[in-house]
Amino acid sequence: PGAALFDTNSSTVRSQALPLLNDVAVRARTTPGSTVAVLGYVDPRGAPDNNQQLSQARANAVKKVLTGLGVTRVTAHGRGLPTGCSKPARAAGGRMTAEEKLQCDRRVDIEIIRK
């Protein structure tokens, strides 16, 4: 579901992603002593010189939403291009469509780390 957070070349969090981020915020707030790491990624269609900035902007946008929902101790890191898509294959034959893969690359990963 996290792959649906952003449009192409955008760091604006889609409104339909807010319920998912609210669920993440609840989990983070109810995990004693936790920290949250937000890791931003881009799809391969962007200009290489923009990839790092865009991935950081995406991570920052999600951090802003989470802190607005009461989560403390959040870090944001832009990672640029992902090394692969962790989304399970859904299409017939176990393969994602090209658009599904691009959407999955255009994401943030959110880690709730227990101390």
| Per-residue model confidence as pLDDT tens digits over 92-105 | 566 778 877 777 88
Of residues 5, 22, 8, 13, the one with CA closest to residue 67: 22
Tokens in use for 107? 């994401």
- Sort strands 74-78 and 35-40 into parallel, antiparallel or unpaired: parallel
Tally of structural domains, the chain: 1
The Cα 51–Cα 41 span in angstroms is: 8
CA distance 66 to 60: 10
pLDDT 10s digits, 55-90: 999 999 999 999 999 999 999 999 988 777 765 555
> Nearest 10 degrees: CA dihedral of 24, 19, 81, 37?
-20
Which residues form the domain of 54?
2-113
36 token code pair = 């949250």
User: Which has more confidence, 91 or 28?
Assistant: 28
> How much is the pTM?
0.85
Q: CATH code at 18?
A: 3.30.1330.60
Instruction: Give the residue-averaged pLDDT of 18-39.
Output: 95
